[in-house]
Every structure is written in structure tokens, then in C-alpha cells.
Structure 1
């Protein structure tokens, strides 16, 4: 596995792991210290903010899993990941789909994430997050 592939694998594991210890290990492997996360729900900065966001989401939704819908596309220091979030016991119910555009540093770590919703969750109001 290439260094970039390892970083992207750590990124997906970060969203799927349940313990803070595992999250920190994945975050250390995937992100730069000052990683910036931009989504319709807001802008977050730093790994602790991402850990908190992931844990709040999981606490609200219950069992949740992020899976890739296809192999990541990578070029010129960027990666595009198309994903689906699954919820429910066994994480079988499709909640949303989207695309993350990642900025990769020379060592392959992610310095920024820009999130686009391809299919928003039912009832999601993007105007509520402006």
C-alpha cells in the first residue's frame, strides 16, 4: 500500500472507529495537526474538533459506518472520496451520500477536507447551516 493509500485508509477508519484511543491513532496517521474540515454544517479546525464532531454524530444517530462507493481518485495533491453513510443496527440503512475533496501534504497527510453532499439526509435543510 502506498503512503497516500495508507493515509486514506486511516481517514476512513477514523470515521468508523468507536474508541477515542483508536480515533486519535487514526487521526494522527491521517491528518495534519491543523486540519480544516468544511461542510455545510460548518467549519471545524483541528483533530479534536473532528473527534468531537464524529462522536456527537454517532451519539445522535446510533450505529453508523462510512463506506467508500468507489476507489479514491488522486492527483496533484488532492483526493476525491465518494462515500455513503450507513446507520442502524448492522449499519445497513443508507443515510446520505457525498464526496470529500482532500488536500494532501507531501507526506500524504490530509490538511483540509471539503465535504459535498450528493444525497443529503432526509429532512436536511442546508439553509439552516449558513
Structure 2
């Protein structure tokens, strides 16, 4: 995967994938073996744990959708992008954040570091 904008689009799509088998296939396609996802609320090491983490977020926010929050910035093997989580495509977001991804030489996700900028108060 050489186009980082497309990579981020597929990454967001994986977070929106509700079918467990399709979600796992997306994670397998996007992340390198042994990849990680870490944010203030989760640590997932390996593809199985990453897919489970995504499923857990979907369970916590049923029916919500992730969407890109702005431009994608990249240099060397690093990608930075913002995202939003909302109850529907056109609704105001309830969670905003940004992720920094470290890519492998072939353009797959090796490590994703997530940060939360806006979170629900309840």
C-alpha cells in the first residue's frame, strides 16, 4: 500500500466493519503480523487483539460511524490523521481523535498510536 490516503480510508472502513469475519480480514490486510494498536483506553497486540478491540468499540457505541476528520499528513514511515466518531454520518461527533501510524517498508500498519481529543462526559 503506497498511497497513505487510501490506507487511512481503508483503516477507517475497518473500524466501521460490523461483520467480524470481514473486519478480521481487513485487519489482516492492513496490519503487519505482530502489529499493535494503543490508545488511552486500549492496548492491542497482534491482529486478533486489534480486531477484538475494534469490535469492543463497536459494542460500546452501537450503530456509530467513524469518519475521517481532516487531511492526512505523512513523512518517511509515519502517518498522522484525525478522525471522528458520530451516531450517524451527518451528526455531530461525540469522540474526536487523531492517530499516528508507523508503517512497514511495504506500507502496512506496524503500530498505531491513538489519542483522544474529545470524549463524552458520561
1:1-130 equivalent positions in 2, closer than 5 A: 2-87=2-87, 90-91=88-89, 92-123=91-122
Shift of 1:93: 4.4
Coordinate RMSD, CA, aligned: 1.8
C-alpha offsets along residues 77-126 of structure 1, whole Å, 9 cap, x if unaligned? Answer: 00001000112xx3534221001000011111000011111112224xxx
Corresponding residue for residue 127 of structure 1: none
Q: Secondary structure at the match of 2:28?
A: helix
Q: Secondary structure at the match of 1:107?
A: coil
Check 1:47–1:113 CA distance in 2 against 1; reply closer, same or farther (3 A cut): same
Q: How many residues were matched structurally?
A: 121
Shift of 1:10: 2.0
Structure 2: runs of 5+ lacking an equivalent:
none
8 Å contact kept, 2:2–2:106: no
Shift of 1:2: 4.2
The TM-score normalised by the length of structure 1 is 0.83
C-alpha offsets along residues 48-100 of structure 1, whole Å, 9 cap, x if unaligned? Answer: 1121112122122210211111121111100001000112xx35342210010
